[in-house]
Amino acid sequence: MAKKPLVSVIMGSDSDMPVMKEAVEVLERFGIPCEVKILSAHRCPDKTALFAKSARKKGIMVVIAAAGGAPHLAGVVAAHTTLPVIGVPMSSQLDGLDSLLSTVQMPSGIPVATVAIGKAGAVNAAVLAAQILGVTSSAIAKKLEGYKKELVRKVEEKNRGLASGKK
Ligand code: RP5
């Protein structure tokens, strides 16, 4: 039987999926079960509010919300839940600057932990979700340690490549 999801990865449109699959892949790598949904603060506001209000009861511990343009998805979800919400600004007609500002500039009392625009943000949202879960899960914390070691190894590999004149 599939494990119950601990993280919800939600996004404003299927056009966000090519970027947000990066987040799903990182969560899978950490063995964190997740669900993926398209929800929109603008196009289906009632469904989005219902999702946010019921997420905790369903066992969700972190919500990753991605949207672009004039995104209110992460903020609206944060308004309806006490779960941590991580916002990922998607690139847009304005290179994602509009998405970034709309996601990050929340009023006091309703935080959205906003990460970088696009792919780096998608990856970091998943790593941050793992770090939040890793506070109480030693298994996830251990995987995070391995991940950090891998980042170090990759830099070393790049340096070896430079030294051998490959690049
Ligand atoms: C936002 O508008 C979505 O999150 C997406 O980033 C953007 C464009 O959506 P589509 O017009 O491709 O559905 O709501």
pLDDT, one tens digit per residue, over 131-157 is: 999 999 999 999 999 999 999 999 999
Q: What is the pLDDT of residues 67-107, one digit of tens each?
A: 999 999 999 999 999 999 999 999 999 999 999 999 999 99
Mean pLDDT, rounded, of the chain: 97
What pLDDT score was predicted for residue 129?
98
pLDDT at 21 over 90: yes
State yes or no: pLDDT of 56 exceeds 90. yes
Ligand 1 center from residue 136 Cα (angstroms)? 35
- What is the band of 165 on the pLDDT scale with cuts at 50, 70, 90? confident
> Partners of 64 in the beta sheet?
9, 86
For ligand 1, what atom is nearest to the CA of residue 40? 14
DSSP conformation class of 59: T
User: Alpha-carbon Rg of the chain, whole angstroms?
Assistant: 17
Cα separation, 53 vs 76, in Å, equals 11
Question: Distance between CA atoms of 112 and 104, rounded to whole angstroms?
Answer: 7
Among protein residues, the one whose CA lies closest to atom 13 of ligand 1: 13
Look at residues 25, 31, 29, 23 and name the one whose alpha carbon lies nearest to residue 5: 31
What's the predicted TM-score (pTM) here? 0.96
